[in-house]
Chain A
Amino acid sequence: AQSVAQPEDQVNVAEGNPLTVKCTYSVSGNPYLFWYVQYPNRGLQFLLKYITGDNLVKGSYGFEAEFNKSQTSFHLKKPSALVSDSALYFCAVRPTGFQKLVFGTGTRLLVSP
């Protein structure tokens, strides 16, 4: 079965510190990988995606993610967290041959001042 795991329900980090939100996947083929962010009472907003090429992908708001094929991971990172980064983050995968995405269960990021 195709699946995406976000092992942490919540990540706490102090403002100015680096942050990592973890994502691992179990899908066949060469998947497309995505990160989305959701603020309260809003829809999901696209942050970044990996299709092919350089394993380090840069996205919106200073976020980046590293694709690691051997570890089947796609962790989201930011060098210096902001309080305004506090939100719900979703990892998603498009398995080869699929026309829809498989979403993780989400990780709440809380950045304290």
Chain B
Amino acid sequence: EADIYQTPRYLVIGTGKKITLECSQTMGHDKMYWYQQDPGMELHLIHYSYGVNSTEKGDLSSESTVSRIRTEHFPLTLESARPSHTSQYLCASSDRREAYEQYFGPGTRLTVT
């Protein structure tokens, strides 16, 4: 098992609520990523970070925001959740020393009612 953690694993929340999905890794990787995935479907990169205080938007436009204040921590925030945000969110990390192999967390399944 990879040393990358996501909490909560499952979240059901009402429309308009603010939520933060947590992602932490203990491998010292400098690169971290957030993907959005509908069940059984392809991955969409929504945010990534190449180091502390570095964040970029991914290939899929997302209303979420991220921060990278510490190497090991890469939280994702939705200021006002909507039913269209219902999806699975996967966090991953990588490092050049490991040929950019990405290690994935278990995911957070978000349902917005």
Chain A: residues with CB nearer than 8 A to chain B? 32, 34, 36, 40-46, 49, 51, 88, 90, 92, 94, 98-101, 103-106, 108
Tell me if B63 is interfacial: C-beta within 8 Å of chain A: no
Closest beta carbon of chain B to A63's beta carbon, Å: 15
Partner of A100, one of B31, B42, B90: B31
Q: Considering the complex, give the chain B residue whose CB is closest to the CB of A90.
A: B43
Closest beta carbon of chain B to A31's beta carbon, Å: 10
Tell me if B33 is interfacial: C-beta within 8 Å of chain A: yes
Q: Considering the complex, give the chain A residue whose CB is closest to the CB of B9.
A: A41
Q: Which residues of A are found within 8 Å of B41, using beta-carbon distances?
A: 105-106
Q: Is the CB of A99 within 8 A of B104?
A: no
Q: Is the CB of B48 within 8 A of A88?
A: no
Chain B: residues with CB nearer than 8 A to chain A? 6, 31, 33, 39-43, 45, 48, 50, 90, 92, 94, 96, 99-107, 109
Q: Is the CB of A103 within 8 A of B42?
A: yes
Known: A43-B90, A44-B90, A106-B42. A101 touches B102 (CB 8 A): yes
Q: Considering the complex, give the chain B residue whose CB is closest to the CB of A94.
A: B100
Q: Considering the complex, give the chain B residue whose CB is closest to the CB of A44.
A: B104
Q: Considering the complex, give the chain A residue whose CB is closest to the CB of B40.
A: A88
Q: Which residues of B are found within 8 Å of A103, using beta-carbon distances?
A: 42-43
Q: Is the CB of A100 within 8 A of B40?
A: no
Q: Considering the complex, give the chain A residue whose CB is closest to the CB of B44.
A: A103
Q: Which residues of B are found within 8 Å of A36, using beta-carbon distances?
A: 104
Q: Which residues of B are found within 8 Å of A104, using beta-carbon distances?
A: 42
Q: Is the CB of A49 within 8 A of B31?
A: no
Give the CA-CA distance A41 to B33 in the complex, in Å: 18
Given contacts A41-B109, A49-B101, 17 further A-B contacts (CB under 8 A): A32-B99, A32-B100, A36-B104, A41-B107, A42-B106, A43-B106, A44-B90, A44-B104, A46-B103, A90-B43, A94-B100, A99-B100, A100-B31, A101-B94, A101-B102, A103-B43, A106-B41
